[in-house]
Chain A
């Protein structure tokens, strides 16, 4: 493959990274006054990248840079969602940063760079490129977490995230080096070939477990979840919105690709590990969220729980399982963005409020917001007919299909427990006496994101679920 053809396959990434650099230089010269314009520029870059992925003129499957990356239906599915989520994260931040007098041009550029890192992650087919993708993403995210640098909470979040993230990267690298040591290759394809030839030996398994630990940290699955609540709470809310959505999808996609394409033969070895991580995450997500009073912390535990459900699908190790993970994560990203759009609308007397009790009696003071949040909460809880239920159904079915009935049963009980804390918010909004109303005049883009997400959850996605599953099916079969 010629260099130009290779580069043409990587067009979306090239657009992102070159565009981000150009905008960064512009920002340096034009200063923070230009932050808004640079934000729009970044959104435009992401949308161009989405179009390039969707209407790629070349064959849908290709291996690039000597097998370091792979462009296929799987990576395209993930990229489209990542780019859209990143674009929304930029647009949704504007009002917040304007109010906090924190509008800086670096923010959108960092989001684009993180999105670039994520798109490397979802197409990585080599341990080196995997590491590159993760680090590109993580470095941008560390800075974003500490973005409100005069706030102690935000800097604390950034530092915590950085230190623990570095630790997890160590684990990951150690695992990768063990795997390299025992197979003599960093390419997923080679690893898979050698592992199936010689059988998975102990060294390889240990390497795999370290690798899984590192990845579990990135998707904030228990027992590697400790950073999540603090970072979610401390980081500026638009940043949290971004953290909760796109990186989780990218991490989960990477997880799926590593396990399924490099260790298909070792399913018996990694299946119990993933299943236990899933159980732990669901339990932590379900029980720890109950006493929370801060809605961002609650969302953190909720996302830990959701990663548990998605990992149920992954632990099946089948095409059905990967498909269910993709559908689950797509729905999860959409509802999380909507939920954070609602949280960003919780403004009172010029400041943000983050307590769950601030939502009391919302149906009496602001019915539209309450309605959106109600739909999203029922969707997060996985109660039909909202879309969240369909995601749960798919992962439970994948588990049952792969013979893991016990895991599905644990999953349904965890979702019953977690239904309680979602219901608690619904109860505050509907049953309690109203608290002071929120400020009117939320930015149109927040309204758009919240309404769009709620309408997607009910009725659009439930009605057209067949289409989404079809796309995910095509994406998942690219791995097998």
Chain B
């Protein structure tokens, strides 16, 4: 029974379910009555918008349920790819191939879990062009699930790059107000941020395209499993590694190519920031694990010190930058860069603890940073400012909010008992095994993160409530509580009992390590 179920096209269904939802919204938009100018207005518009919200929520929740089904069908004791499906596509070794393993399955779940929260976070806060907004999010979800499910490098690239388009529109259309001076032009800062996001990521990934062409020439296929077994010559590995690095480092983002992230985060609407922090950044780390480490083991080993250096700079430098921020979203954005430093460091230690720590950190950061952006969004919706200085003493008016915010602040700092702790400590243990100095410097990140996170909390929450505008601020409502509660449950559960998640990673990470060590040994003999 299970076997026959596993043969079905579960992953395709999961990947394209949100897209079907988007089509429904398009249809409802097309069916709506239009006035003489060909524009939908008045009660018709409200109808279309409320339909769009409900369809989007239904399909994101539906996708989440399907992903739970996929997770139920997934056999955690096996290391290889499961639920694999393949169809002819371009020919000549490029096919439509999907599958999940221990490394990707949890990211798929993370994606489908975060998306309904994003829709809920945008329920009232998005007031213009709601239907378009929901379509963009559903398309984005399809592309993100596709990234984690692809078992073909070419297909991966299509999803990976394609995800830029909806995100570009989300930042540019629904971003916040304000203008920016750039190269003599004055342009809306959301447009600046959207362009910067798009072009940075595009330029990073284009080198990957050339590398992919070269690999395809050598191996005759872009099948990920085949490429992982293909033995690329040591000299070529360096160039290929660098090309992949260019793409994933920008996405991650690693210092010094992280500068697009604060801009994008600040300008994006709340749900856009959540998706960006919780999922899009994880594509970089996922890419390192899926491609760089297994396909170019020799180069990965050679470049590991370079990665450590960048990671430590990211951890310390961006934490210091975060300390100086006056904008809440910017502060969290810089803290994301610092936390991603732990991920890259952990992954390239190429130890079991390090890799699992990196994976766990990505997962936990998905919940925590998502929740933090949601928290900022909650006060932003009420006050329309993200300036830290505009707040103070919120604890008097919003006790529940203060509690939730405190919880996630501490989780972000890596308090034991929350998932943030597990990831960081594992990554540090992995680093310690390689070189204790790396761990020593990286540990500064823990201290600094406490400094900036608690500073933010103190300035926003404590003190006397003196600002008139804040007197009438409402506490969190039920919808916000639902989202934050769900995120909190996962953060706590994974923090207290990380076993289940680590068990899912473990077989695949073991396999990865085994191949990696074998490749290094073979490389040393040559």
Give A residues with C-beta under 8 Å from B: 363-367, 378, 383-385, 389-390, 393, 396-397, 399-401, 405, 408-409, 412-413, 415-416, 419-420, 423, 426-427, 430-431, 437, 440, 462, 465-466, 469-470
Q: List 30 A-B contacts (CB under 8 A).
A: A363-B129, A363-B173, A365-B38, A383-B165, A384-B157, A384-B161, A385-B158, A389-B158, A396-B209, A396-B210, A396-B213, A397-B217, A400-B213, A401-B217, A412-B207, A413-B203, A416-B203, A423-B168, A423-B198, A426-B168, A427-B172, A427-B195, A430-B172, A430-B173, A431-B173, A440-B38, A462-B158, A465-B90, A466-B91, A470-B91
Residues of chain B from 143 to 179 with CB closer than 8 A to chain A in the complex: 154, 157-159, 161-162, 164-165, 168-169, 172-173
* Given A364-B39, A430-B169, A440-B38: A413 and B206 interface contact (C-beta under 8 Å): yes
Residues of B within 8 A of A440 (CB): 38
Residues of chain B from 56 to 110 with CB closer than 8 A to chain A in the complex: 88-92
Q: Are B202 and A416 in contact (CB under 8 A)?
A: yes
Which of B186-194, B253-261, B305-313 binds A?
A: B186-194
Residues of A within 8 A of B89 (CB): 465-466
* Given A408-B213, A431-B173: A415 and B38 interface contact (C-beta under 8 Å): no
Q: Are B88 and A466 in contact (CB under 8 A)?
A: yes
Beta-carbon nearest neighbor of A375 in chain B:
B165
Residues of A within 8 A of B157 (CB): 384
Give B residues with C-beta under 8 Å from A: 29, 37-39, 88-92, 129, 132, 154, 157-159, 161-162, 164-165, 168-169, 172-173, 188, 190-191, 194-195, 198-199, 202-203, 206-207, 209-210, 213-214, 216-217
Beta-carbon nearest neighbor of A381 in chain B:
B202
Q: Are A383 and B202 in contact (CB under 8 A)?
A: yes
Residues of B within 8 A of A420 (CB): 195, 199
The distance in angstroms between the C-alpha atoms of A236 and B37, with both chains bound, is 28
* Residue among A378, A400, A437, A440 with most chain B CB within 10 A: A400
The distance in angstroms between the C-alpha atoms of A399 and B217, with both chains bound, is 10
State the main secondary structure of chain A at its contact with B: helix
Interchain CB contact (< 8 A) of A412 among B165, B210, B216: B210
Separation in Å of the A425 CB from the closest CB of chain B?
A: 12
Q: Are B172 and A431 in contact (CB under 8 A)?
A: yes
Residues of B within 8 A of A385 (CB): 158-159, 162
Q: Are B199 and A419 in contact (CB under 8 A)?
A: yes
Residues of A within 8 A of B202 (CB): 383, 416, 419
Q: Are B165 and A378 in contact (CB under 8 A)?
A: yes
Interchain CB contact (< 8 A) of B90 among A363, A400, A430, A469: A469
Q: Are B162 and A384 in contact (CB under 8 A)?
A: yes
Beta-carbon nearest neighbor of A409 in chain B:
B210
Top 8 closest A-B pairs, CB basis? Answer: A412-B206, A400-B213, A384-B158, A397-B213, A431-B172, A466-B91, A384-B161, A416-B203
Q: Are B161 and A383 in contact (CB under 8 A)?
A: yes
Separation in Å of the B251 CB from the closest CB of chain A?
A: 15
Q: Are B165 and A363 in contact (CB under 8 A)?
A: no
The distance in angstroms between the C-alpha atoms of A90 and B37, with both chains bound, is 29
Residues of B within 8 A of A399 (CB): 213
Beta-carbon nearest neighbor of A431 in chain B:
B172
Separation in Å of the A84 CB from the closest CB of chain B?
A: 23
A sample of 8 more A-B contacts (CB under 8 A), given A397-B213, A427-B195, A431-B190, is A384-B162, A385-B162, A401-B217, A413-B206, A423-B198, A426-B169, A430-B172, A431-B188
The distance in angstroms between the C-alpha atoms of A408 and B212, with both chains bound, is 11
Residues of A within 8 A of B129 (CB): 363-364
Beta-carbon nearest neighbor of A396 in chain B:
B213
The distance in angstroms between the C-alpha atoms of A413 and B154, with both chains bound, is 19
The distance in angstroms between the C-alpha atoms of A462 and B214, with both chains bound, is 22
The distance in angstroms between the C-alpha atoms of A440 and B34, with both chains bound, is 13
Residues of B within 8 A of A400 (CB): 210, 213-214, 217
Residues of A within 8 A of B92 (CB): 469
The distance in angstroms between the C-alpha atoms of A383 and B203, with both chains bound, is 11
The distance in angstroms between the C-alpha atoms of A365 and B129, with both chains bound, is 12
Residues of B within 8 A of A412 (CB): 206-207, 209-210
Q: Are B161 and A405 in contact (CB under 8 A)?
A: no
